[in-house]
Amino acid sequence: MATTTLNLFSHILSLLKNIQLNEIVIASMVFIIIHSLRSKKRHGLINWPIFGMLPALLIGLKTSNMYERLTDILIQQNGTFRFKGPWFTSLNLVVTSEPQNVEHLLKTKFTNFPKGNYFKDTVSDLLGDGIFATDNETWQKQRKTASIEFHSTKFRKLTIESLFELVNNRLIPVLDSSLKKSVSIDLQDILLRLTFDNVCMIAFGVDPGCLQPHLPVIPFAEAFEDATEAILLRFPSLACVWKTMRFLNLGMERKLKKSIQKVDEFAENVIRERKKELSLENEHDDDDDTRKSDLLTVFMRLKDENGMAYSDKFLRDICVNFILAGRDTSSVALSWFFWLIDQNHEVEERMLEEICRVVSEREEIKKEEFDNNCLRFMPEEIKKMDYLHAALSEALRLYPSVPMDHKEVIAI
C-alpha cells in the first residue's frame, strides 16, 4: 500500500512538473507574440526574435504591391524606419524617404555614403568595376566621361536615330500585328526588348535584334536577364549561403556563372571586332562624321591616367553597366506609364488631344496629304507635348524605376 501511494505521489509530481513546463512555454510564446505585435507600432513591421523583420517583410511583399507596402510603412513611421534583419545576419538597415535625408545622402554628404564593400562584393561578378559597382575616383571618371558624351551632338543624334528606327520599324509593326490578329501580348516583354535593342546600340554599337516580328530568343539577352535575376536574389540571401553555393557551383550561382560566361563572350567578340574597325579608321583617316559614336567606341579612343588604352575587362564592365542602366529602367517606367493610362481614361484623352494638336500643325496635314509617316514624331514635336511630359514625370514619381538606392555610412 505504501509503495502504491509513493508511486501515485511521484506520478502527480511528474504531472505537475509537465503542467508547469507547458505553462512556462505557453506564457513565453504569448509574451513573445504580444511583444512582437507591439513592435509593429514602433517599427512599422513585426520584429520577431531571432528572425527579425524579414518574415513580415517577405509575407507582406507576397500578398501586396511592393511599392504600396513600403510606402505605407514609411508613412506610419514619418518617412524613416529601421529594418532589423535576423540576428545571425548583417541585414540591418535604415530606410528613409524624407527629402531632407535623401538630399543629405545623395548631395550634401555624398562622399560619406558610398555604395560600400557589401554592395560591390554582391554585384561584382556581373558588373565588375563599372559605374554601378564602384565609388570614388573610378566612379567619378566613368561618370564624367559618360556625362560629356551623353551631351555631345553625335551621341544625341545616335540616340534619336536608334529610337526612331526601333519605334517606327519594329515596335509599331509588332503592336499593329497583334491588334490585327486579336492576340494578347506581354507589353512589358515587348518594351524590354525595345529598350534592350536600343541600349545595346548605344553602348556597344550592336543591334541584338530582340524586337523582331517573331520575337526571337536572343542568347545574349537571355543570359543578361538570368544574370541580373541571380544577382538580385543574392541581396535577401545570407552572404555565407550564396558564397558557399558559388564555391560549390550549385543552384542559382551555377546558372549565374554560365550566364556571365555568355555575357563575357558576347562583349569580348564585340570589343575584338571594334578594335579592328578602329584600326582601319586610323589607317584611312576617316572623317569624324562617319565614325561610330557609341559608348564602347568612345572609351576605346580614350586613355587612362597613365596614358594607356583601357583594358578589355574595363571596357566590358562599362558597357554591361550601361546596358543594365538603360534596359530595365526605361522598360519598367514605360510599363507603369501605360498601366496608369489604362486606369485613368481622362488622362489618356487629354494626351491624345495634345498629340492630335501637334500633328495638325504639320504642313502635309494642313494640305490633307496623309501617308504612313503620320505616326512618326520628331524630337522637336515631342518637345511641344507638355501634358505627355507631365504624365510621364508623374508616373515616375508614383512608380520610380529604381525605388531603392543602397548606401553605407563611413562616419556618423
Convert the pLDDT of each residue in 207-226 to its tens digit: 888 888 888 888 888 898 89
Residue type, 13: L
Boundaries of domain holding 263: 143-336
Q: State mean pLDDT over 360-388.
A: 75
pLDDT surpassing 70 at residue 24: no
296: Cα within 13 Å, side-chain hemisphere: 28
In a domain, 292, yes or no: yes
pLDDT surpassing 90 at residue 302: no
In a domain, 404, yes or no: no
Q: Which of 49-53, 219-223, 289-293, 344-348 has the highest mean pLDDT?
A: 344-348
Please state, in angstroms and rounded to a whole number, the distance separating the CA atoms of residues 22 and 196: 60
In a domain, 97, yes or no: no
Residue type, 3: T
pLDDT surpassing 60 at residue 102: yes
In a domain, 403, yes or no: no
Confidence of residue 15 (pLDDT cuts 50, 70, 90): low
C-alpha cell at 375: 505616326
pLDDT surpassing 60 at residue 11: no
In a domain, 185, yes or no: yes
Q: Which of 43-52, 138-147, 164-173, 302-311 has the highest mean pLDDT?
A: 164-173
Q: Are 258 and 225 in contact (CB under 8 A)?
A: no
In a domain, 59, yes or no: no
Q: Are 230 and 255 in contact (CB under 8 A)?
A: yes
Residue 292, Ramachandran bin (φ over 0: left; ψ between -120 and 50: alpha; else beta):
beta
Q: Which region among 66-70, 79-83, 230-234 has the lowest average model confidence (pLDDT)?
A: 66-70
Q: What rounded mean pLDDT belongs to the chain? A: 80
Tell me the pLDDT tens digit for each residue of 381-394: 888 999 999 999 99
Please state, in angstroms and rounded to a whole number, the distance separating the CA atoms of residues 319 and 269: 13
Instruction: Count the neighbouring beta carbons within 10 Å of the beta carbon of residue 88.
Output: 11
Q: State mean pLDDT over 311-323.
A: 85
Q: State mean pLDDT over 399-406.
A: 85
CATH classification at residue 210 = 1.10.630.10
Q: Are 73 and 94 in contact (CB under 8 A)?
A: no
Looking at the DSSP bridge assignments, the partners of residue 94 are 82
Confidence of residue 341 (pLDDT cuts 50, 70, 90): very high
Per-residue confidence (pLDDT) for residue 325, from 0 to 100: 81
pLDDT surpassing 90 at residue 349: yes
Residue 201, C-beta contacts closer than 8 angstroms, at least 6 positions apart: 158, 162, 207, 294
Per-residue confidence (pLDDT) for residue 201, from 0 to 100: 86
Number of domains in the chain: 1
Handedness of CA 202, 207, 208, 211 (dihedral sign): positive
| Chain centroid offset of residue 192 CA | 12
Per-residue confidence (pLDDT) for residue 255, from 0 to 100: 92
Per-residue confidence (pLDDT) for residue 344, from 0 to 100: 93
In a domain, 217, yes or no: yes
Confidence of residue 34 (pLDDT cuts 50, 70, 90): low
pLDDT surpassing 70 at residue 342: yes
Per-residue confidence (pLDDT) for residue 260, from 0 to 100: 92
